[in-house]
Amino acid sequence: MSRNYLFTSESVTEGHPDKICDQISDTILDAILTQDPLSRVAAEVVVNTGLVLVTGEITTKAQVNYVDLVRKKIAEIGYVHAENGFSADSCSVLVALDEQSPDISQGVTSAQEQRENLSDSELDKIGAGDQGLMFGFACNETPELMPLPISLAHRVSRRLAEVRKHGELSYLRPDGKTQVSIQYEDGKPVGIDTILVSTQHTETIDNLSENSAVQKKIKEDLWSGVIQPVFADLDLKPTDKTRFLVNPTGKFVVGGPQGDSGLTGRKIIVDTYGGYSRHGGGAFSGKDPTKVDRSASYACRYVANNIVAAGLADKCEVQVSYAIGVARPVSVFIETFGTAKVDEDALLKIAQEHFELRPAGIIQTLNLRNLPQERGGRFYQDVAAYGHFGRSDLDLPWEKTDKAEQLKDALLSNSAV
């Protein structure tokens, strides 16, 4: 039976209060792993009007100036105007950090961690940093194997930041949210129903002070400067039936931490698949790779990506679960939503044979511990805004589809096709 429906996903700009926190947390992680790749990091950040609080648990040999890192990241995001109620130069930065609990550390710490290319038996000795369940997803709706609604929402958010930073729309301020509703028929995207943009702006624009004139100007500029460029290279485009909503409350001058407090890990759906796939509940930012909330989610995406890229399914969701201190997953599950081209039991078996899902094995395979050091001290902070997946602008190891041919060959050799 055919089914028509709308599905909506949202994104936020790098200046959103919660995203400020995510980026600061991952900037701290990058700085620490660059100096000491074996560090244990769980960095949490809170922002409010004129205030940044850095807290959490960190065990490291690295020497880091946390206050300096915070101020530089805030300035990079764009909070340099004192009238915003939050500025890199004037905000207070408080640091309250502890070391990781030894009860947690004892289950995952091993002398073997200090070497590369661990043997199979050594990988079995390094357990997960916590219990929990994680998901990864991929589908063939977009070239980056992401659901179309979240892909478009991120594109619009990133373009908002670009026109602000490049001075094309200099009256924009860092805080913003986007939302895209896609019309589906029989599981395939066929139209763009609604595009919503809420963006912080100055009180007056080009000598316009009356609010209705200001909002009219913003809507016109966003259509020509943001929406049209975003959709220029896409087959699916807005039509005269597409609703375009801008600042629906009628005004967005007070924003950022002055308008709302922010917290690390509060945008987990924005970070992943826009609600299109299930989520295990664990946030990513500020966590070193021994935390399976992060590393196993990346590994699951890697598995799902290769299954879809191999043409073995149109959609693929991978779930793993762990027990603290235990290396091998408690469970592994693959769901293809009726789109599999092969037997799902065979698909699960082949996936488990070709992908490393033990925590230390994930870190080793995806090189998660050394990436900040190898990339000039900057890696995790770059995925802390605009999504951790489907990032064609970044060279991310979990986005590779280098095992697609292996999976097809393995299934053929096992007469599973």
Q: Please determine whether the domains at 4-12+148-255 and 132-141+292-413 fall in the same fold group of CATH.
A: yes
pLDDT of residue 112: 46
CA nearest to 195, candidates 10, 14, 13: 10
Point out which residues pair with 208 in neighbouring strands.
205
Distance (Å, whole) CA 152 – CA 146: 10
pLDDT of residue 81: 83
Question: Phi-psi bin for 205: left (phi > 0), alpha (psi -120 to 50), beta?
Answer: beta
Determine the CATH number of domain 4-12+148-255. Answer: 3.30.300.10
Q: How many CA atoms lie within 13 A of 220 on its CB side?
A: 7
Going by their DSSP bridges, the two strands 51-59 and 92-98 should be labelled as: parallel
- The neighbour count for residue 167, using CB atoms within 10 Å, is 8
CA separation, residue 329 to residues 197, 289, 301, 312, 367 (Å): 41, 16, 16, 23, 20
126: Cβ contacts below 8 Å, ≥ 6 apart: 108, 110, 112, 113, 118, 327, 358, 359, 360
Point out which residues pair with 322 in neighbouring strands.
132
- The neighbour count for residue 87, using CB atoms within 10 Å, is 18
Structure-token pair, residue 203: 């009180």
CA separation, residue 289 to residues 56, 65, 105, 154 (Å): 16, 22, 13, 25
User: What is the full per-residue pLDDT of the chain (417 aa) written as tens digits?
Assistant: 468 999 999 999 999 999 999 999 999 999 999 999 999 999 999 999 999 999 999 999 999 999 999 999 999 999 998 777 799 999 999 999 988 655 555 555 554 455 567 777 888 888 898 899 999 999 999 999 999 999 999 999 999 999 999 999 999 999 999 999 999 999 999 999 999 999 999 999 988 889 999 999 999 999 999 999 999 999 999 999 999 999 999 999 999 999 999 999 999 999 999 999 999 999 999 999 999 999 999 999 999 999 999 999 999 999 999 999 999 999 999 999 999 999 999 999 999 999 999 999 999 999 999 999 999 999 999 999 999 999 999 999 999 999 999 999 988 777 544
Q: What is the dihedral of CA 335, 338, 344, 348, to 10 degrees?
A: -20
Going by their DSSP bridges, the two strands 262-263 and 92-98 should be labelled as: unpaired
pTM for the whole structure: 0.94
pLDDT of residue 111: 44
Backbone angles phi, psi at 399, to 5 degrees: -90, -5
Look up residue 73 and give its DSSP letter: H
Number of residues that make up the chain = 417
CA 194 to chain centre: 23
155: Cβ contacts below 8 Å, ≥ 6 apart: 230
Is residue 413 within 8 A of residue 406, CB to CB? The reply is no
- Rounded to 5°, angle at Cα 270 from 303 and 256: 150
Domain boundaries, the chain: 4-12+148-255, 132-141+292-413
pLDDT of residue 115: 53
Distance (Å, whole) CA 248 – CA 30: 37
pLDDT of residue 416: 43
Q: Domain 132-141+292-413 adopts which CATH fold?
A: GMP Synthetase; Chain A, domain 3 (3.30.300)
Is residue 211 within 8 A of residue 251, CB to CB? The reply is yes
Question: No. of H helices and E strands in the chain?
Answer: 15, 11
